[in-house]
Structure 1
Amino acid sequence: MTGTATPTALSESVTGLGPFFALRIHPLGTEPGGPWQPMSHPLLEARVATVGERLAAAGGRPPGSVEPRVAASVAHLGLAARLISPALAAAVLHGKVLASGLTELRWQPVIGGPIPLSLPDSAVADSPAGPPERLAGELSTRLMDGPLRELAEAMGTFSVSRHILWGNTASALNGAATMIATSRPELAARTRTLTSLLLARPPLRGTATTAGGGAFRRRSCCLIYRAAPDRKGPLCGDCALAR
């Protein structure tokens, strides 16, 4: 691990872990070339609507039949995963904290697959040297209580409970950790240590448990099962309702 990587080098190494980690860096105060947009509330509203229509179509249901809060929760889980994945990778690979306010980051609200994401170079910060607990503290302050709290507040306007939204965030963190450990087994121990520390701190404290053997189980449900006909869709593997 090195803390000397430039923003460009960091972007390249993080992106090398896979599409959910893909990241561009643009200079603060400039706009990246292409169809990039701020993560504004109107665009989030449009995304929730689109996700709802896609969920309805996938279940053979008529347009408008999926509850807005279900669509909002599913949309939130995907967006949270895109913010968390490169941030966790930057911390594991380089000891850097990667976080930007929603108004500064840029995205392309495509449907299907990981969304393109670009952060200003000011989002990259070295964590103070020290034990993993210090890095976890910086991530909790700058990432969890930064853009991820902003995202949760925005999605909460669709009547999704904060319990579910922070459960989504914990699930996204665990998913990112699993992908890093699978792609780079030599990073598995460091990744799991940092993930456990983040899950033990607010705002993620109490959102999940680890069962026998260390299996991750969230204490809430993302609600996607309710998008299926008769609200009898399958449950996610880490769902609190799964038995």
Structure 2
Amino acid sequence: MNPAPTADFRRLTAVGPYFALDTPASADDTPPPGYRPLRELYDGGPDGPLAARVHVVAQRLATAELRVAASILHLGLAARFWSVGVGAAVLLGAVPPLDEAWMRIPDQGPIDLWTPQGRPTVGTLPRQLHHVIVEGQLEPLAEAVRAVVPLSARLLLGNSASALAGTLRVLDGHAPDTARTLVAEVLGRPPFADTGALHTGADGTGAHGTAFRRRSCCLYYRVGPGAGVCGDCCFTRPPAVRNP
């Protein structure tokens, strides 16, 4: 499918806040006040905006383990990028270019994203997603996170796969067949082919929907005794917590 150069990415807002993408009304418009280039999120190491955000998340989770906060933050950011990319691909037939995108970090909720009117991304939708989301955002994000807190690459890949499956669960209510086919293809390719198992459609009990079981853990269970494990965790119950 060729990308539609006139795709109105602002329509994604109707799906939910993680899917929202602001764009200029004209080619001469500039980002709204308070926005910074998205690439700055991946710069600065322990003194950059990503490191500062990890500390904010740690405070809100009431955890002293920065690696737990960094993993949860990474999972949320991955969900933000997948939602924009896959949502646009499924609902508009085009993946928005994010190489010149701008961001604003609110006090609560997902980051705000604004992108100028750039050249439409070309290629098949899976190829567009790999170029724009995986190479353009998730790879530098993982590198930036690991520069702040030591986390395994496998864990972060699992987070990204989990976030993609979560995006699919939302899109199941809008364009299930198209979304399931596209997400299954992306998850079946490197670098996500070994991150978990995706199940869609009937599950043998008469139920329908999407389920994903990852082969790694995001560490959320370490937030506290009542945190439990996520629905797609490799664990069925929280492991015994050791001191970090």
TM-score by length of 1: 0.81
Residue 115 of structure 2 is matched in structure 1 by 119
Query: 1:99·1:146 contact (CA, 8 Å) conserved in 2?
Result: no
What is aligned with 1:138? 128
CA distance in 1, matches of 2:68, 2:177: 34
1:117 is displaced (CA, Å) by 1.3
- Pick closer, same or farther for the CA change 1:176–1:210 going to 2, 3 Å: closer
SS of residue paired to 1:160? coil
Please tell me whether residue 222 in structure 1 is matched to residue 218 in structure 2.
yes
Structure 1 pair 29/77, CA: closer, same or farther in 2 (3 Å)? Answer: farther
Task: Give the helix-richer structure, 1 or 2.
Answer: 1
Structure 2 gaps of 5+ residues are: 204-209, 238-244
Q: State the Cα distance separating 1:29 from its structure 2 match.
A: 9.3
Aligned residue in 2 for 1:36: 35
| Residues 98 and 143, structure 1, Cα contact 8 Å, conserved in 2 | no
Q: Is this contact kept in 2: 1:70–1:226, CA < 8 A?
A: yes
1:50 matched to which residue of 2? 56
Q: Do the aligned partners of 2:54 and 2:69 also contact (CA within 8 Å) in 1?
A: yes
CA distance in 2: counterparts of 1:99 and 1:228, whole angstroms: 39
Alignment match, 1:107: 103
Q: Which residue of 2 aligns with 1:62?
A: none
Residue 142 to residue 233, structure 1, CA distance change in 2 (3 Å): same
- The superposition leaves residues 66-121 of structure 1 with CA deviations (integer Å, 9 ceiling, x where unpaired) of 211111111111111111101101111222122423xx322221242222111232
Q: How far off its partner does 1:5 sit?
A: 5.4
Q: Which of 151, 155, 162 is the matching residue for 2:141?
A: 151
**1:125 aligned partner, one-letter code:** P
- CA–CA distance in structure 2, aligned partners of residues 143 and 110 of structure 1: 22
On the 8 A contact 1:2/1:94 being kept in 2, the answer is no
CA RMSD of aligned residues (A): 2.4
Q: How many residues align?
A: 220
Give the match for residue 234 of structure 2: 240
2: CA distance, partners of 1:200 / 1:28: 38
- Tell me the distance in 2 between the aligned counterparts of 1:228 and 1:48: 17
Task: Show CA shifts across 1:13-65 (max 9, x none).
Answer: 22221111111124789741221123423111110010000000xxxxxxxx4
Q: Is the 8 A contact 1:225 1:233 kept in 2?
A: yes
Match of 1:6 in 2: 6
Provide the residue aligned with 2:84 in structure 1: 86
- Code of the residue aligned with 2:130 in structure 1: it is S
**Percentage identity across paired residues of the two chains:** 39
Which residue identity does 1:209 align to in structure 2?
A: A
Is the CA contact (8 Å cut-off) linking 1:81 and 1:173 kept in structure 2? yes
Q: Where do 1:49-68 residues align within 5 Å?
A: 49-56=55-62, 65-68=63-66
